[in-house]
Amino acid sequence: MKKFLAFVLVAVLVLSVLTGCKQQVKQPVTLVFAKGDAVELDPADVTDGESITVMNNIFEGLVRYKPGSTEIEPCLATTWEASSDGLEWTFHLRQGIKFHDGTPFNADAVVFSYERQRDPNHSFHKYGKWEYWSWCFSEIAKTEKVDDYTVKITLSSPFTPFLSTMAMFTADVVSPTNCEKWGDQWFANPIGTGPFKFVEWVKGDHITLEKNNDYWGEKAKIDKLIFKVIDDPSARLIALQKGEVQGMEFPNPNDYETIQKDSNLVILSEPGLNVGYLAMNMGEDTPGFEAPYKDVRVRQAIAYAINKKDIVEQLYKGTAVVAKNPIPPTLWGYNDAIQDYEYNPTKAKELLAQAGYPNGFKTKLWAMPVSRPYMFDPQKIATAIQAYLKAVGIDAEIVTYDWGTYLQKTEGGEHAMCLLGWTADYADPDDFLYVLLDSDSATVGSAGNVAFYRNPEVHKLNIQAQQETNFDKRVELYKKVQEYVHNDVPWVTIAHAKQTLVFHKSVKGFVLYPTGDYHFESVTIEGQ
């Protein structure tokens, strides 16, 4: 028995030594990044951030956002022009590019990528859900090939934000031969033109990409990019401190202090394209409407009564900045001239008295059941708002439902006041000001505008901005919309969540995009 034990121990030791030797072989420069797992790997069929992060590095669209900005620049298309009525957009494609599987990139690939989503009779349409197409691209009537390197996209109505939507992952171009090869398994085998190629996806564990050595643009600096699945933010941080990974997303705000103290770690953060807000239901045709909210003085009073700065500092724990406009400061068109309602309970009481509610009133405050970056811990935020309102005499009862029901009911206008937020899909003020605050979006039952704010002036400006092709003029129009929204107070804007990433200090060159996209081609690792 003893001899056997000794043998086993020796064997273990020898093998351990061998294991050690094996690890000393020079590894390719690899960045391991901790995040949640992807749901699927086709850019047009995904809606969740975890999948999109992977897509961003494998696929490309005709246009893209400039690094770190919301402005558009050429990508797979070199130039484009719109017809004078704004309905026909012609894109001239970059030549000589191949997909990772060797398929040439051309007009056919673009037409395939878009038509499979739009046309229910397309042979590939049956495989996907294509949710975003009907949401962001419904204005596209068709995509046609003009010649091998020219495509024409026809819109059903003039819609200038179209160009911003074209920089979304949904408009990335996929290899048609690859899709046809895999059929209904295509979602797990992504082939694009981007700086990284797909290697493997071990579900729930990791996704591996490798450098595309034939990339047409500036090639990636790292050889391998591994997205390691670690769902728990605290476990992610420990893995980062331990060196198992070199970067991570969404740290737990309670860990910020630990991160700041650790000299090996670097935090990158900036406000993303999102907003968290308190909407006051102004729609008299909605079941949840309560009379006080018709009066702008009441809405202003509520804006004065809430100490946003304290909420953001105490409850968002440094993960957000105070919002004074519906659109975030990182998006073009932001109106910085607007003076926010400061915290002033006395003024709030005065306004309430003027509106005929000197003793306040009873109301309901709906709180989201789930935490979102733009509404970090909604239950606590609701409790804080409840206390602020109580101080000026408004007695708000907190109501909550499960998330699906909550969305459904708020879209149906069953609330008086509700907490909600928004993360933009494309970097255009239209995705905030039209989608969330236009009368077109205030249909009871399917409202994006849950304040049911229907100002005809705002609507006019929004539509004008959708049709205007001059960038500077659009900026002016959107600034005007923000003034109206500020004066009419359909919302108390609360916060813009910051996207936060943590890297080991040896990782350099990562650029934050306001859209929340992660692009790793510019990243280097010092010492490797």
Partner 1 sequence: MLFAVSILIFLLIRLAPGDPARTMAGEHASLEILEQMRKEWGLDKPLIEQYLIWLRHAFKGDFGRSILTHESILKEILYRFPNTLELSIFAMIFATLIGLFAGIISAVRRYSIFDYFTMFIALFGVSMPVFWLAIMLLLLFGLKLNLLPISGRLSVFYSIKPITHLYLVDSLITLNFPAFFDALKHLVLPSVALGTIPMAFIARITRSSMLDVLNRDYIRTAKAKGLTQRAVIMKHALKNALIPIITASGTEFALLLGGAVLTETVFSWPGLGTYVVQAVNARDYPAVQGAVIFIALVVAVVNLIVDVLYAFIDPRIHYQ
Q: Which residues bind partner 1 (CB under 8 A)?
A: 15-16, 18-19, 22-23, 27, 30, 32, 34, 37, 39-40, 45, 47, 127, 129, 131, 134-135, 184, 187-188, 202-206, 208, 226, 228-232, 234-235, 238-239, 241-242, 244, 401-405, 407-408, 422, 435, 445-446, 448
Dist. CA 295–CA 277, nearest whole Å? 19
Least separation in angstroms between residue 50's CB and partner 1 is: 11
User: Is the CB of residue 478 less than 8 Å from the CB of residue 451?
Assistant: no
Least separation in angstroms between residue 354's CB and partner 1 is: 36
State both tokens at 116: 């499979």
Give me the torsion for CA of 280, 285, 288, 294, rounded to 10°.
Answer: 40
Kindly report the backbone phi and psi dihedral angles of residue 386, in degrees, each rounded to the nearest multiple of 5, phi listed first.
Answer: -55, -45
Least separation in angstroms between residue 328's CB and partner 1 is: 18
User: Is the CB of residue 110 less than 8 Å from the CB of residue 147?
Assistant: no
User: Is the CB of residue 481 less than 8 Å from the CB of residue 462?
Assistant: yes
Which DSSP state fits 208?
E
Least separation in angstroms between residue 404's CB and partner 1 is: 3
Least separation in angstroms between residue 68's CB and partner 1 is: 26
Q: Which is nearer to partner 1, 329 or 448 (CB)?
A: 448
Least separation in angstroms between residue 470's CB and partner 1 is: 28
Least separation in angstroms between residue 22's CB and partner 1 is: 5
Q: Which is nearer to partner 1, 117 or 307 (CB)?
A: 117
Handedness of CA 55, 60, 64, 65 (dihedral sign): positive
Give me the torsion for CA of 288, 290, 294, 299, rounded to 10°.
Answer: -100
Look-up of token digits 């969330």: 436
Task: Provide the β-strand partners of residue 498.
Answer: 271
State both tokens at 287: 């079941």
Least separation in angstroms between residue 23's CB and partner 1 is: 7
Find all residues with CB under 8 Å of 178, minimum gap 6, and list them.
Answer: 99, 101, 103, 186, 189, 190, 191
Least separation in angstroms between residue 389's CB and partner 1 is: 26
Q: Which is nearer to partner 1, 357 or 503 (CB)?
A: 503
Q: Which is nearer to partner 1, 446 or 469 (CB)?
A: 446
380 CB neighbour count, 10 Å cutoff: 15
Handedness of CA 522, 499, 403, 233 (dihedral sign): positive
Least separation in angstroms between residue 195's CB and partner 1 is: 20
Q: Which is nearer to partner 1, 205 or 457 (CB)?
A: 205
C-alpha triplet 315, 498, 137: angle, nearest 5°: 125
Chain mean position to CA 35: 15
Q: Which is nearer to partner 1, 180 or 313 (CB)?
A: 180
Dist. CA 286–CA 295, nearest whole Å? 16
Dist. CA 18–CA 12, nearest whole Å? 10
Dist. CA 411–CA 406, nearest whole Å? 8
Q: Which is nearer to partner 1, 328 or 393 (CB)?
A: 328
Q: Which is nearer to partner 1, 239 or 501 (CB)?
A: 239
Burial label for 223, CB within 10 Å (0-12, 13-18, 19+), is: middle
Pick from 278, 265, 211: nearest CA to 236? 265
Residue-wise burial string across 361-378, b where 16 or more C-beta atoms lie within 10 A, e elsewhere: bebbbbbbeeebbbbbbb
Pick from 522, 520, 516: nearest CA to 52? 516
Pick from 211, 187, 202, 200: nearest CA to 520? 211
Least separation in angstroms between residue 170's CB and partner 1 is: 12
Q: Which is nearer to partner 1, 96 or 445 (CB)?
A: 445
Q: Which amino acid is at 128?
A: G
Least separation in angstroms between residue 128's CB and partner 1 is: 8
